[in-house]
Amino acid sequence: MFVKLCGLRTESDVAVAVETGADAVGFVLTASPRQIDADLARTLVAAVPDHVLTVAVVRGISAAEAGELALKTGVRALQLHGDYPKEAFDELAGLPFQLVRATALGPATDVRTGAFGEELLLIDSPVAGSGEQWDISRLDENRPSGRWVLAGGLAPETVAGAIGVARPWGVDVSSGIESSRGVKDHARMREFVAAARQAPQVT
């Protein structure tokens, strides 16, 4: 089970994420309680070992701006979160980082990983970063394919059950591992990774 811990803001957040065995860490570079600036992101990215994927998370900015931020921070992946069209991904194709398409599940959502040229697809709550749970049973009507990651309202207490229902390739968490808005709880980070890893894998 691929595990991404998102919204990290401090050197200790990064150190704990790496220690837990997380596969990816996310840094939010646009308006959010978890936002950090590009200079801090670059410092944090430099502290992450090569086997852990570093992801810049953006929403509400142009593809060009997003690409510039990703290049400046040195991340290995860029997550476009929200209603970005395929043209945005086309514009970023060929740059030296992977692309992640993050979107909510709607009637017309294309849930084929790679449909927009992305390497990873992330299916999130309609209110990203809110910690709100959503009805993941809706995935039965529109089942994603390929390397896709479940997000939205996950927590150490709920992730195993969500994996059992949704059968994702990976999981992503931010608010569910916080002690307060934007502040990571290192004990909960460890608990989340352990719970995700121990969940029965359904293929």
User: What SS3 class is residue 104?
Assistant: strand
Do 191 and 158 contact (CB within 8 A), yes or no?
no
Say how far apart CA 163 and CA 9 lie, in whole Å: 27
Strands 24-28 vs 77-81: parallel, antiparallel or unpaired: unpaired
Give me the DSSP letters along 8-68.
--SHHHHHHHHHHT-SEEEEE-SSSTTB--HHHHHHHHHTS-TTSEEEEEE-SS-HHHHHH
Q: Determine which one of 124, 135, 140, 172 is catalytic.
A: 124
Say what the alpha-carbon torsion angle 129, 132, 135, 136 is, to the nearest 10 degrees.
40
Instruction: Name residue 90's amino acid.
Output: D
Cβ proximity of 62 and 50 under 8 Å: no
Catalytic site residue 124? yes
Q: Indicate which residue of 6, 13, 37, 50 is catalytic.
A: 6
Q: In 3D, which of 99, 100, 39 has the Cα closest to residue 74?
A: 39
φ and ψ at 18, to 5 degrees? Answer: -65, -40
Q: Which of 128, 121, 114 is nearest to 33 (CA)?
A: 128
Residue 172 appears among annotated catalytic residues = no
Residues taking part in catalysis: 6, 124
